[in-house]
Chains A and B, each alone.
Chain A
Amino acid sequence: MTTDAIKAQLTLARPLRRKAAEGIGLNSAAGHLVMVLLSIVCLFPVYWMVATSLRPANAIFETSLWPTTMSLENYTYALDSIPILRMLINTLVVSALTTVVQLLTGLLAAYAFARWRFRFDSLVYTAVALTWLVPFQVVMIPNYLLIAQMGLLDTISALILPNFASALAILLLAQAMRSFPKEVVEAARMDGAGSWRILWGVMVPNLRGTIASLAILIFISTWNEYFWPLLLTRTADNSVIQIGIQMFMTSEGNQWGPLMAASTLASLPVLVIYIVLQRQVIQSFMKSGIR
């Protein structure tokens, strides 16, 4: 190619590029407008929840964007009428235990899939993956009956038991372990490390990122879980916070102030996690798909 040809191309390209830049400027203004609108739609309901919860009872129906007078009346009312603190602690216990146990069973099972070839291994793997597709509503009656037989209705442990393992944790961890360099595992084995020590001494420390993002995901989804507790709990003291919220919505009418206060309290821990670990939370949700 001669220098002339290059020059010609450069001169040609220049006006083109300028035109493209202008296009982007205009487009991005419109793009911002669209995104700002979408942001408002996504954020306003959450803002309105907090704003309503802070209005005094006689100003609940005000429509000013910012509460003219603020009060914690709704919160004290909500705390007095149902054992919210107890419910929050229950939810915390259930979520934390579910997260730890699900990670444990997930790590063990994933390690088996990643480390060995064994009889029926792909069959078992498929069977694990398929459980992800079984809708909760299909197995809910037998599960309920089983819990009833075990005498665990209205207990915290009944909320945790069926979630001792999940296809999601097993599959995600198995994927991560499979892409783990084989040489490192082999080297550890040469040093005489058994499979147990390789798992906890080599694999787990190196998979911290995956484990942490999975932990966030399990914790948040367990915290937000509603149907299994709704089926099982009978008394407010053994309930989780999601059930507590529902207690302010009755067919006779809604107590909007306390309802918004309870909703805010229920969302607070998750929102705090989100604000602190925003990038990791988004990533962990995107990696795992929706569910």
Chain B
Amino acid sequence: MAIAASAPVQRRRINQARFSPWLYLAPAILTLVVWIYWPLVDAFRLSFFQWNMLPTSPQTFVGWDNYQRIFALPKFWQALRNTGIYVLGLLPLAVLIPLALAIYTHDLSPRLRNIYRAIIFVPMIIAPVVAAAVWRWLLDPNYGMVNALIEWFGAEPVKFLSDPKVAIWTIIAITGWKLIGFSTLILSAANANINPALLEAARMDGASKWEIIRDIRLPLLSSSVLFLVMMTILLGAQWSFGYINVLTGGGPLGATTNIYYLLWDFGFSTMSVGWGSAAAVILFLGFGALAFVLFRLIDRYSFHDN
């Protein structure tokens, strides 16, 4: 009788195990499919059409035309090159300087360290638009504080946002300003997690401070460093998007346009859905390939404590 009673219970449990997970997953999956996966497919489809986004105007199939045109566009190559500059320019600010700071400041007293932590984290929580507004004010060629300081030292004021040679570095610096505290904290946390016994042992063996950094700290920090490098490469140009939009609009003369901004420009300034979608597909494929390679590299090259 006990067996007879347990059989339906068992069956119910199996049925439950079959359907329940999907019920719990449904709201999340539905959202992600509707707002991310379906749009990806749709972007792919639209990249073969010519259309100006007006519901009344027809969508004309143009095959690979959009792609050909984009690859023939000097603006596209300029944006691609700038995307590279953004990433390379951000690496020192988002990884190298924070790494040096984290190692250099590891023996500060915990009390003061907490105060510094709290302060250098502030840019991270400030909204990108607010950051852009404030820097626009600080960098104003006529009345900005930064130029006041430069003139006080006797140098010529700099047109931070309207000089084509300078503008991209200004945007990179502002993006870096938002990130530098955050990266420093990530690396400080990793640095503080290093087993003190290892350092003590090395010190006993007569290793110099520099040798300890080179042979123990850096290898043990490598997974955090690789993580930050990957984030910077994958997302660096994306972080700068807000500042480009608010501060330069991609100009002067396209000097600050990157690939993300170009997408925006195609889609919503020129209202060319086909170009925008084709650029989106190119970006997505490139981004995916890069992410794949980076994840493989991290798997292979990161060291672990134990």
Q: Do A and B belong to a common assembly?
A: yes
Interface residues of A (CB under 8 A from B): 20, 23-24, 27-28, 30-32, 34-35, 38-39, 41-43, 45-46, 48-49, 52, 60-61, 63, 104-106, 108-109, 111-113, 115-116, 118, 121, 124, 127-128, 131, 133-135, 137-146, 148, 161-162, 164-165, 167, 170, 195, 220, 223-224, 226-227, 230-231, 242, 245-246, 248-249, 254, 256, 259-260, 263, 266-267, 270-271, 274, 278, 281-282, 285-286, 289-291
Q: B28 is contacted by which of A35, A38, A170, A242 (Cβ under 8 Å)? A: A170
Report the tally of A-B residue pairs with Cβ distances under 8 A: 263
Chain B residues near A32 (CB-CB < 8 A): 108, 112
Q: A42-B177, A286-B186 are in contact. Are A141 and B46 (CB under 8 A)?
A: yes
Q: B238 is contacted by which of A34, A116, A135 (Cβ under 8 Å)? A: A135
Interface residues of B (CB under 8 A from A): 16-18, 20-22, 24-25, 27-29, 31-32, 34-40, 42-43, 46, 53, 55, 101, 104-105, 107-109, 112, 116-131, 133-138, 140, 143, 145, 148, 177, 179-182, 184-186, 189, 203, 209, 227, 231, 234-235, 238-239, 241-242, 245-246, 260, 263-264, 267-268, 273, 276-277, 280-281, 283-284, 287-288, 291
Looking across the interface, which residue of chain A has its beta carbon closest to that of B186? A286
Establish whether residues B21 and A139, one from each chain, have CB atoms under 8 Å apart when the complex forms.
no
Establish whether residues B129 and A131, one from each chain, have CB atoms under 8 Å apart when the complex forms.
no
Give the 10 A-B CB pairs with smallest separation, nearest first. Answer: A142-B39, A224-B127, A109-B28, A139-B39, A165-B31, A112-B24, A142-B42, A112-B21, A165-B28, A162-B35
Establish whether residues A138 and B127, one from each chain, have CB atoms under 8 Å apart when the complex forms.
no
Chain B residues near A227 (CB-CB < 8 A): 241-242, 245
Chain A residues near B263 (CB-CB < 8 A): 137-138, 140
Establish whether residues B277 and A141, one from each chain, have CB atoms under 8 Å apart when the complex forms.
yes
Establish whether residues A278 and B118, one from each chain, have CB atoms under 8 Å apart when the complex forms.
yes
Q: B123 is contacted by which of A42, A134, A220 (Cβ under 8 Å)? A: A42
Chain B residues near A31 (CB-CB < 8 A): 104-105, 107-108
Q: How far is the CB of A144 from chain B (nearest CB, A)?
A: 8
Chain B residues near A109 (CB-CB < 8 A): 24-25, 27-29
Chain B residues near A127 (CB-CB < 8 A): 32, 37
Establish whether residues A286 and B125, one from each chain, have CB atoms under 8 Å apart when the complex forms.
no
Establish whether residues B133 and A260, one from each chain, have CB atoms under 8 Å apart when the complex forms.
yes
Looking across the interface, which residue of chain B has its beta carbon closest to that of A248? B133
Identify 24 residue pairs between A and B in the complex whose beta-carbon atoms are under 8 Å apart, listed by A's number: A30-B104, A32-B108, A42-B123, A43-B122, A45-B134, A45-B138, A109-B27, A111-B24, A112-B21, A118-B21, A133-B287, A141-B43, A142-B39, A146-B34, A165-B29, A226-B127, A226-B242, A227-B245, A245-B133, A246-B246, A248-B133, A249-B136, A249-B246, A259-B137
